[in-house]
Amino acid sequence: MTHAVKPVRLRDRQTAATRKQVLDTAMELMRRQPQQPFTHEVVAKHAGMGARTVYRYFATRADLMQALWERVRDESKTRFPASEENIVPLVRETFANFDEHDALTRASLSFSASLELRGRGSLQGRPAFAKSLSPILDGLSKSHQRRLIAVCLGIWSAPFWQLLRDRGELTGKEGQEAAAWAMETILEEAKREGAKGTKGRPAPAVRKVKQARRKDA
């Protein structure tokens, strides 16, 4: 049985087009005038619409920043690792994407509200690293686990990329390799620490069985 495709209403198309226009204008301002005041009113003026229209689609500055961060993330192809094996290769790829979108990445860092953007990104990165690092984290203390995830998030970031490029005076390729080396070194040390922590302890699956038996007893 075939189902009829629900037609897109004209109002919905206009809504999507206006929202896109607001974001396109905001992105262009971010690229060209990163040091200038960035408000709903400024975006509206450059988009040729009233400020009320911008507020209708993005009620707060945080809403607008979130949408812009998602656009920056999509254009720079920023993503987090799904497993331990792809952490080092993917950090190289991430930094290569920062290099490819140099102007856009730097503009996002220049926002007066850039902390909002990075904070929201860490909400996704923290659970991603907790999952991909789980084989290593199992042998570490809670405080060491938190430190490891925090350091990985710090490396896996545009501010660290900018630090290597500007203050470290590295080329794009050198920055990619430096980030990969830093990540690799930290993970190897964490593995050694984890091995000490799990020495003499039963495997995770065995521990779960024992815990279940204790509850049943």
CATH number for the domain that contains residue 26: 1.10.10.60
Residue with tokens 């995830």: 149
Claim to verify: residue 87 and residue 180 sit in the same structural domain:
yes
Residue 143 to residues 22, 27, 139, 198, 199: CA-CA distances in angstroms? Answer: 43, 39, 12, 16, 19
Claim to verify: residue 35 and residue 79 sit in the same structural domain:
no
Residue 154 φ/ψ region, left for φ over 0, alpha for ψ in the -120 to 50 degree band, beta for the rest: alpha
Range of the domain at 129: 73-199
Q: What is the pLDDT of residues 119-158, one digit of tens each?
A: 555 677 899 999 999 999 999 999 999 999 999 999 998 8
pTM as predicted: 0.70
136 contact partners, CB below 8 Å, separation of at least 6? 84, 148, 187, 190, 191, 194
The domain tally of the chain equals 2
Distance of CA 116 to the CA centre of its chain: 12
Claim to verify: residue 193 and residue 106 sit in the same structural domain:
yes
Q: Is residue 64 part of a domain?
A: no
Give the three-state DSSP class for 103. Answer: helix
Low-confidence winner among 58-62, 170-174, 182-186 (lowest mean pLDDT): 58-62
What span, in angstroms and rounded, lies between the C-alpha atoms of 48 and 60? Answer: 20
Q: Is residue 19 part of a domain?
A: yes
Cβ atoms 58, 67 nearer than 8 A: yes
Token representation of residue 50? 């009233």
Maximum Cα–Cα distance for the chain, whole Å?
A: 72
Position 28 confidence tier, pLDDT thresholds 50, 70, 90: confident
Claim to verify: residue 117 and residue 171 sit in the same structural domain:
yes
Average pLDDT over residues 66-95: 86
Task: Output the pLDDT for position 212.
Answer: 54
Claim to verify: residue 111 and residue 24 sit in the same structural domain:
no
Q: Is residue 210 part of a domain?
A: no
Average pLDDT over residues 7-28: 86
Position 49 confidence tier, pLDDT thresholds 50, 70, 90: very high
Low-confidence winner among 20-34, 63-77, 160-174 (lowest mean pLDDT): 63-77
